Structures are given as C-alpha cells and as structure tokens.
Amino acid sequence: MSSGHHTADIQSHIKVYMTVFAALAALTIITVAASYMDLSTGEAIFLALTIASVKGSLVASYFMHLISERALITWILMLTAGFFFVLMFIPMASFIDQAQVG
C-alpha cells in the first residue's frame, strides 16, 4: 500500500498531472520551434538537451512520483546518472584526446 495516498491527495495529484501534461505539450512545441532558429551546433545541442531535461524531470518527478519518493531510490538514480555521464563523456573525451596526437 503506497504511503499516505488519500482521496483528497489523489484529487490534488490529478490537478498536477494535468498541469504537467500541458507543460510537456508546450515544451514539445517550443523545442521544435527552437530547432528552426539559427543557432550554432553547440548552442542547438545545449538548448535541445536543456528543454529535454526539463521535460524529463517533469515526467520523473510527477508521473513517476520521484519528487515524493524515498531517498534510497533517488540515491540509486543519482549513482546511475553519474555512470551514465561517464559513459557519455569519457569515450568522446578519449576520441578528442586521441585526435590531437596524430
């Protein structure tokens, strides 16, 4: 039984879900519109990933209830995120580092 989810709680949650839905839809339109702007590649990547991160955080925090979830889960996810970033950046970094040699 999930903790403390009474009827009134759930009703207020539903309001939140709808708000988040609207925000996600809006951010989707924004990110598509932004892609037509004249930005450098680096700027475009930064903007797209930032918007995606906001959208992702909304899904995780509210639909997946992470915002009220136990600390243990958040710790596991932070650990995972850490290694995820290692996997993203280190191979790329070694590619760049290598290119400089020869």
Partner 1 sequence: MDIPYTVEERPDTGLFNAKLGVWLFLASEVMLFGGLFSAYVFLRYGAPVGAFHEWGQELNIPLATLNTLILISSSVTMVMSWASLKLNDFKKYKLYMGLTLLCALGFLIIKYIEYTAKFDHHIYPSTNTFYAIYFTLTGLHGLHIIGGMIVLYYFWIPGSKMWESKPEQFTNRIEIAGLYWHFVDLVWIFLFPVLYLL
Partner 2 sequence: MGAPTHHEVSFYRKYIWSTDHKIIGLQYGITALIFLLVGFLLMMIMRWQLAYPESAVPLVGSIFGEDGMLLPEIYNSLGAMHGTIMIFLGIVPLAVGAFGNYIVPLQIGAPDMAFPKINAASYWCYFVGGVVMMSSFFTAEGAARSGWTSYPPLADFEVGQTMWLIGMIFLITSSLLGSINFITTIIQLRAPGLTWMRLPFFVWAQFVTSFLLVLAFPPLEAAAVLQLMDRVAGTSFFLPSGLVVSGEVLGVSGGGSPLLWQHLFWFLAHPEVYVLILPAMGIIAEVIANNTRKPLWGYNSLVFAVVFLGFMSFIVWAHHMFITGMGTTMSAFFQTTTMIISIPSIIILSAFFISLWGASIRFNTPMLFALAFLPMFGIGGLTGLPLGFAAADIYLHDTYYVIGHFHYVVAPGTIFGLFAGIYYWYPKITGRKMSELLGKLHFWPSLIFMNGVFMPMFIQGLAGVSRRLWDGGLEYAHASGVLHWNEFMSISAWLLGLAQLPFIFNIFYSLKRGEKVDKNPWGATTLEWTAPSPPLPHVNFEKIPEVHRVAYEYSVPGRKRDFTPQTEPKKG
Name the residues that contact partner 1, by CB under 8 A.
1-3, 5, 7, 10-11, 13-14, 17-18, 20-21, 24-25, 28-29, 31-32, 34-35, 41, 44-45, 48-49, 51-52, 55-56, 59-60, 63-64, 70, 72-73, 76-77, 79-81, 83-84, 87-88, 91-92, 95-96
Q: Nearest-CA neighbor of 59 among 16, 15, 97, 12?
A: 16
101 binds, among partner 2, partner 1, none (CB under 5 to 8 A by kind): partner 2
User: How many Cα atoms within 13 Å fall on the side-chain side of residue 35?
Assistant: 9
User: How many Cα atoms within 13 Å fall on the side-chain side of residue 16?
Assistant: 14
- Cβ count near 55 (within 10 Å): 19
Task: Summarize as ranges the residues that interact with partner 2 (CB under 8 A).
Answer: 72, 79-80, 83, 86-87, 90-91, 93-102
